[in-house]
Amino acid sequence: MIDVVVVGGGPTGMMLACELRLAGVRTVVLERLAEPSGQSRALGLHVRSVEVLAQRGLLDRFVESSPRRGLGGHFAGVFKLRYDLLDTAHPFALGTPQATTERLLTERALELGAEIRRGSAVTGLSQDEQGVTVELADGQQLRASYVVGCDGGRSTVRGLLGVDFPGTPSQMDMVLADVELTESPGEAPFGIRPNGVLGCFHLGDGLYRVTVNAAEVAADRSVPPTLAEIKQRLREVAGTDFGAHSPRWISRFGNASRQARRYRVGRVLLAGDAAHIHLPAGGQGLNLGLQDAFNLGWKLAAQVNGWAPEGLLDTYHSERHPVGARVLENTRVQGQLMRSESLRDFLSELLDQEDTCRYLTGMISAVDIRYEVGEGAHPLLGKRMRDVGLKSGRLYDLLRTGRGLLLDQTGRGLSVPGWADRVDVVAECGEELDAGAVLLRPDGHVVWVDGGPRDLEAVLRQWFGAPATLRR
């Protein structure tokens, strides 16, 4: 029997495969496409995703393939967000095309021993107390302990599960094209014109991503617009088509906003766009999926490997569903703001206030996420730990194994003998650690701080299960 079948070989599915294989879980990825599409709807990785890559030793290979973006991003097309206001050692985003993210994560998944089966479309799904049976279009059946649907907004897995996907349909369509231009679009990457909304981003090598709102909502969004349609719409909105030619990719998207009511049904789970879709305002979608996988991977691996405490796997839904809901909310707000020049002018003034700017930058970058991990009021509790410097190097370098980590500078010699197979201990910390001792989950979130109301052993049991001596 396969431990976990991941349905969908995009960035979310490949990130999950990497996390599962890091913990020794036999993982098979099923991707319906015979070859990667090469298309890149998403064009960047936010600060928290950059941190995630650093935590797994992948950041260098991404930096080599991607330009670092400036010191900030945008909210509703107002480019005033500032990464330097965040509590991070990695205050930058990466201009990584989605196709590159998928390729690099696929390479890592293969290095770790994941099995990737392309041209494998899922057509059926059934589960019982022992596992899940997956039916493929070619008549094959696979048996797995768990299945995770990472198969996009039109998720087959979600449909087969019958999970509700409530929300609102698209009320506004945007068409986009990666094209060459013979006329300069000017400096402004985004603008509201009397006849519509226009965006134009330079991708490098003479290529631009042009986006413009469509004249009407498409009956079938899977049918791409033509270059002639896009040029006509550009002339209507901008007064010129900028001499657009030689399209590399043409597509459309809408502002539909939906979220799966449940991220887990028994032995089947949902992640990425299979769990939530929204207007791609602020470039949050791909990042949200990667971080779903990062949250789920170690928990599902713990379940498969037999040490997960009761309820651990359910914390995937309880932690990530609110995060997804918040993204849906802020993208709806951005959609409204992008339709009004006066509202965007007002937002621009607000973003000149440092506290407001920090708040919205933390939201869009996902650096401000804080999970409910138990009793205690310490400001670090539930948050991800920044990449602090330690006497033995950087913190994130020590998280590459995907294990828990106890940082102890109390001088009391804290130890975790019953959890040594799941948690590492570092006693030589340094001045950057703003606490006597902290316990980190494999995803880098703090679940215990010395001096709080909870006993270390109780927290170890909550997040890392029973000590090894009791599991034999």
Residue identified by tokens 């991800």 is 384
Instruction: Taking each helix axis as running N to C, give the angle between helix 47-55 and helix 285-305, from 0 to 180 degrees, rounded to the nearest 10.
Output: 30
CB-based contact 74:93 (threshold 8 Å): no
What 3-state DSSP class applies to 111? helix
Q: Residue 341: enclosing H or E segment and its boundaries? A: helix 341-350
Q: What is the structure's pLDDT at 470? A: 59
Flag whether pLDDT at 461 surpasses 90: yes
Flag whether pLDDT at 206 surpasses 90: no
Q: What is the structure's pLDDT at 184? A: 82
Name residue 330's beta-bridge partners: none
Residue identified by tokens 């631009």 is 208
Residue 460 CA to residue 419 CA, distance in Å, equals 8
Higher per-residue pLDDT: 55 or 341: 55
What 3-state DSSP class applies to 408? strand
- Sign of torsion, CA 373 377 378 383? positive
Q: What is the structure's pLDDT at 190? A: 67
pLDDT 10s digits, 259-304 = 999 999 999 999 999 999 999 888 899 999 999 999 999 999 999 9
Tokens of 435: 């606490």
Tokens of 57: 């030793």
Domains of the chain: 2-167+258-365 (3.50.50.60), 173-254 (3.30.70.2450), 389-471 (3.40.30.120)
pLDDT 10s digits, 152-190 = 999 999 999 999 999 999 888 888 889 999 888 876 666
pLDDT confidence tier of residue 84, bands split at 50, 70 and 90: very high
